[in-house]
Chain A
Amino acid sequence: MRLSASGSPRGLIANTIARVTRKSHEPSERCQYFLVLDDATTFASPKAVQGYAGLLVAADEPPSLPMADVPIVSRFHDLSFLEEDAIVKVSASTGHLKVLYRPSSTCNALFVTSACNSRCIMCSQPPLKEPDETLDEQLRVVDLISGQPEYLGITGGEPTLLKEGLFTLLERLRDRLPRTTAHLLTNGRLYAYEDFVGHLAEVAHPRLSSAIPLYADIAQLHDAIVGAPGAFDQAVHGIYNVAKYSLTLEIRVVLQRPTIARLPQLSEFIYRNLPFANHIAFMGLENMGYAVKNWNALWMDPVEYAPILEACVRSLFVRRMNVSLYNLQLCTLPRSLWGFARKSISDYKAIYLEECQVCDTKELCGGLFASSKRRHSESLRPIRRNSL
């Protein structure tokens, strides 16, 4: 799935975030939109394009337009991937277009920063040296979202590094999208400061959920994965602060070789110490970012750890904890765990292999990360209804 493209900019003064449209809008609303011209032969009169944030043109610039005082980015070749009301960001200097939000998707996220205070060995989205996201941009995206989507992730990097900015963003979400679940993916380390969580609670977002990873039941191991001494204590204190302010909590556990051996003890630790967790997600590894270079140390075939995983899920299930499995293909799991597997891979990253096409569980299965096309379980195979 395409989420970016490059064109040639002319007249765009600053990086611009706007919705895309192919319809004609009232002049007063036009500044919210980029008008898309897919077809080189489309006739656009100066009057018809006046007032838009810009024109996105698939082909060369139409000759009739230089008269109009409107920024133009042309020569994208193909813009058919842009759906109506998608929100895009276009760079004034390079003409690079990036899709930030798609109305048809159920897994949109605000990528609020590429900075992070941890260096997790399997991080799929490693921090960048020069973050280029700004709070104003995030607020602009929130303002441009049409309707009330069911779900919106807030991710990075580490979103809590926005500090005050995060509260401003959550307040905007609370006011504009109160029916949208705001799913905040955070390492929870700054949550160790009670003031921070107190402030988060004061925002009183009606559907805020914090998803915090816990990789092990003991500090040494968790800290080694996170690459930061003290991270375990901070996350645990943070989680207790989340409970203290009655906020919604998800615990995320990444399934990777160094931590599998203690997975049963981690499950017991969560139940004994964090029984208030609203959701526990065990997550398969994604072959991106640091995981790519650490692959051999981290990867363990799900088929290999399935018995341990099954014991953990069973133990949490009888204890009435709410458990999900993310990123794992049904053919790698015992059938007893299928009911816990969610279609968790974002639509733009999910793929199915050739052998998946004849699988009778394809509809239930979340598929693979596109990045796992060549690195995946050796046991992927189609499941046939009559062989169950």
Chain B
Amino acid sequence: MGNCLEPSHCSPSGDTSGPLRYRLLPFTFDRWSTGEYLLVNEVGEFLRCPAEKFSAFTAHALASTETLYADLKAKHFLADRTSSACLNLLAAKYRAKKGFLEEFTKLHIFVPTIRCNGSCPYCQVSRRNQDTSSAFDMTEEILRRSIQLMLASPSPHITMEFQGGEPLLRFDLVKEAVRYTKERNASVGKRIDMVVCTNLTLLEDDHLDFFRSHGVLISTSIDGPAFLHDVNRPSRSPASNHATVERNIRRAQEALGREAVSALMTTTRESLKFPRQIVDEYLRLDLGSIFVRELNPYGYALKAAAQIDYTSEEFFRFYTAVLDYILEVNRRGRTFAESYAGLVLRKMLTPWSVGFVDLQSPAAAGIGAVLYNYDGNIYPSDEARMLAEMEDFSFRLGNVLEDDYAAIFLGETMQTLASAACNESLAGCAECVYRVYCGADPVRHYATQRDLFGHRPSSGFCKKNKAIIRHLFELVFAAEKDPDLERILWSWITREDQSLLRLPEVCLS
């Protein structure tokens, strides 16, 4: 892999009698095993070319009459004297791609309680037993201060997410949070999306009534069919097993609408054996998408690693098996998306910014997302809170009762984080051909490698994302000759039924 950043003295407006008839604009590249080169520019546009053409291009020896020359020019990999518009276009596209930065923190995570009725071995959250004292719940004062901070955020459109623990153990706090937010927001006027992340084992009718009347969405977890789900997500009470979750997913879909309920699955070593069964379970539950998640190296998951963990290669094999099967399902006419792929494809194929906290540069930590913990402490992410539960307070941004907005979001911790938050300047990322589709994750690299900046060759995050993005490129290239595949991939981006993306048939009356 490599990158090209040509010094500006090669300006096309300068002396053109020499060899520099055109100027290279910034891009990264990689040689694929096929011998072809993949080139990606700073705004995510890409093209492939044969090795000898690539050499000619970088040696300023590509003839302007070649199709490749025109393609490189139109996609803004090179600039010559015939046009000055390219830099403006590139700048506008770059601004659009980094649009997620425009209004600062958009995702605000609330942890009303850290208590949980579940006991998942892979829990990345440092949960407490359901029956422990309310010392692990938010006080109303902390809740209100947190909401005031959230509303002080410059973003006009924010997402308020309730996590836990299991937030429905303190439904009264969720209710109060929504009420207080709406009351305060009357004079602030933000658009606020609300999501509750729940295991759906404690769902009551009045919860659903409340969610419906306030437009609160549900994000839950289903790891597969009962035999797998109940192994991955054991609970202390038999009433909280797969059957309960299934019943409650259906209740929620009925009460709130199918689109209002989404689910993610966490992959354990056991899951690796059942890619198809997991997808089939999602289809059976009439869910529109699946989010295939890797284990996160925090909290309980670290302790249980010997039993449940796997290598990045194993995960990638599993992920592609899931993806292959999902494509098969889609080819049969059922629109069903893998959310992670959908987000990466959106980065690859559209000119738009993608607000996805796991893959951002600058990293979302604090900039795109913030977490208000039950005890009033503020963290840049869920993962940073896990570290704190493990007695490492490196990423504590402050406390809602003690610190003001500026101290929290512009303080020393935030600045330290920001120094490692741009993959454009991280060793091993800067020249990576997949960099613009990927992100920086300083908290994760600190947790796994004791290094905020991270060491790419041994980073599981890097291995996984490189493999997945490369795999998605292969699908995108295959889709160039396969309209059905093209339509399926785009339906994951637009989140519409694929039949709507089929060229409409005109009937003669």
Contacts and interface: CB of A to CB of B under 8 A. Distances in A.
Interface of A: 217-221, 223, 229, 232-233, 236-237, 240, 262, 265, 268-269, 271-273, 275, 310, 313-315, 317-320, 335-339, 360-361, 364, 385, 388
B83 interface: yes
A218 B81 CA distance: 12
A356 B89 CA distance: 45
Given A272-B45, A314-B486, A236 B85 contact: yes
Interface residues of B, number: 31
B508 A361 contact: yes
A273, A320, A338: most-surrounded residue (chain B CB, <10 A): A273
Nearest to B90: A273
A388 B505 CA distance: 12
A273 B45 CA distance: 11
A44 to B, nearest CB: 49
Given A220-B82, A271-B351, A313 B508 contact: no
A271 to B, nearest CB: 7
B351 A219 contact: no
18 contacts: A217-B70, A232-B83, A233-B83, A237-B88, A265-B70, A265-B71, A268-B74, A269-B74, A273-B351, A275-B351, A310-B503, A314-B503, A315-B486, A317-B501, A319-B350, A336-B505, A338-B506, A388-B508
Contacts of A361: 508
B84 interface: yes
B486 A318 contact: yes
B351 A314 contact: no
A339 B486 CA distance: 20
A272 B351 contact: yes
Interface in B13-72: 43, 45, 64, 70-71
A72 B297 CA distance: 95
Interface string B485-508: 011001000100000010111101
B70 A339 contact: no
A112 B83 CA distance: 31
Nearest to A237: B85
Contacts of B486: 314-315, 318
Given A233-B84, A272-B93, A339 B503 contact: yes
A240 B89 CA distance: 9
Given A218-B83, A262-B74, 4 more contacts: A236-B85, A272-B93, A273-B92, A275-B350
Contacts of A317: 501, 503
Contacts of B293: none
Contact of B85 (A229, A233, A336): A233
Nearest to A337: B503
Nearest to B65: A220
B212 interface: no
B483 interface: yes
Contacts of A319: 349-350, 490
A269 B486 CA distance: 18
Interface string B179-205: 000000000000000000000000000
Contacts of B74: 217-218, 262, 265, 268-269
A364 B506 contact: yes
B170 interface: no
B504 A320 contact: no
A339 B494 contact: no
Contact of A318 (B92, B351, B487): B487
A266 B127 CA distance: 54
B26 to A, nearest CB: 16
Contacts of B73: 218
A318 B501 contact: yes
Contact of A273 (B93, B483, B494, B504): B93
A388 B494 CA distance: 32
Interface in B450-495: 483, 486-487, 490, 494
B506 A240 contact: no
A272 B96 CA distance: 11
Contact of A314 (B64, B82, B483): B483
Interface string B343-366: 000000111100000000000000
Contacts of B64: 220
A65 to B, nearest CB: 53
A320 B83 contact: no
Given A219-B82, A275-B351, A236 B89 contact: yes
Nearest to A244: B92
Nearest to B494: A320
Contacts of B352: 275
A318 B45 CA distance: 18
Contacts of B501: 317-318
A315 B480 CA distance: 10
B239 to A, nearest CB: 45
B490 A339 contact: no
B402 to A, nearest CB: 44
A265 B45 CA distance: 12
Contacts of A233: 83-85
B483, B487, B503, B505: most-surrounded residue (chain A CB, <10 A): B503
A240 B88 contact: yes
A272 B350 CA distance: 7
B83 A219 contact: yes
Nearest 5 A-B pairs (CB), nearest first?
A219-B83, A217-B74, A318-B490, A339-B504, A338-B506
Nearest to B491: A318
A226 to B, nearest CB: 13
Contacts of A320: 494
A339 B505 CA distance: 7
A229 B84 CA distance: 12
Contacts of A271: 351
A223 B71 contact: no
A219 B504 CA distance: 34
A215 to B, nearest CB: 13
Contacts of B89: 236, 240, 273
A229 B83 CA distance: 9
A269 B72 CA distance: 12
A335 B490 contact: no
Contacts of B92: 240, 273
A319 B345 CA distance: 12
A168 to B, nearest CB: 31
B503 A219 contact: no
Contacts of B75: 272
A337 B508 CA distance: 14
A223 B84 CA distance: 13
Contacts of B93: 272-273
A237 B86 CA distance: 10
